[in-house]
Amino acid sequence: MYKTVIFDLDGTLLDTIQDLADAANYVCEQRGWPVHTVNEYKKMVGNGIPKLVERFSPANARQPQQLARTLEAFLMRYSAYMRQKTAPYPGIQELLEQLKKAGVQLAVLSNKQDSLCREVISYYFDLSVFDRVRGALPGVATKPDPAGVHRLMAELSADAPSTLFVGDSDVDILTAKNSGLAGCGVLWGFRDRDELTRAGADHIAQTPSELARIILGTD
């Protein structure tokens, strides 16, 4: 049984891709740039919003000052419309309640800007379910760097053998490995089994109920 679980947010707890894609394509349309499909955006996300902005910007629009302006425009649009199509994945609410009742410490670590991370979590979930919620902070390296994980673990008095990192992408599995933790990939998110396997996932869960069995050691 794992006593502490650190969750990724986008693609793991919440299906946010349509709102992210809509905001990004709005910015692209305003600038006369090509837009992208939702499936294309699934491969662009995972390394934080600044990297997403860089990826959807044309190659000739990636000068630092221009990226800064595009990032500002994206954040304004996304902040205003980020609850239009976003929703928890089926079974996630029940999973969190089950784990909380079992005494598992629950935390969120996202590469999404900290204020946005907290806002979206508080909108869709009861914040009391989580012992810690953390997004990207100035001066703290984002995933897959282990700095954020180690800070959370210290705050939670968690040890590596009893802590599991859960996410939907290679970034999350690499975060687990870099932090000295077991990593579980989930298949309901933005990436596929091949990516998670290649990244070295210790576990792969097809459904939230399967994830519960992995965490509680009831498989």
Determine the pLDDT at residue 136: 94
Degrees (nearest 5) of the Cα angle 4, 5, 10? 160
**C-alpha span between 205 and 214 (Å, rounded):** 8
Tokens of 1: 């049984």
Q: Which of 121, 34, 17, 23 is nearest to 71 (CA)?
A: 23
The whole-number average pLDDT for the span 39-51 is 96
- Residue 28's CB is within 10 A of a number of other CB atoms, namely 19
- Res 219 pLDDT > 80: no
Bond before 144 cis per omega within 30 degrees = yes
The whole-number average pLDDT for the span 88-110 is 98
The whole-number average pLDDT for the span 85-106 is 97
The whole-number average pLDDT for the span 61-83 is 97
- Residue 101's CB is within 10 A of a number of other CB atoms, namely 8
The whole-number average pLDDT for the span 195-206 is 98
Backbone angles phi, psi at 116, to 5 degrees: -70, -40
CA distances from 22 to 14, 26, 28 (A): 16, 6, 10
For residue 24, name the pLDDT band (cuts at 50, 70, 90): very high
Determine the pLDDT at residue 218: 86
The whole-number average pLDDT for the span 48-69 is 97
The whole-number average pLDDT for the span 69-98 is 97
Q: Alpha-carbon Rg of the chain, whole angstroms?
A: 17
- Put residue 197 in one of left, alpha, beta given phi > 0 → left and psi -120 to 50 → alpha: alpha
Kindly report, residue by residue over 145-179, the tens digit of the pLDDT.
999 999 999 999 999 999 999 999 999 999 999 99
* Percent of the chain clearing pLDDT 70 (strictly above): 100
- Res 138 pLDDT > 70: yes
Give me the chain's average pLDDT, please.
Answer: 97
**C-alpha span between 81 and 135 (Å, rounded):** 19
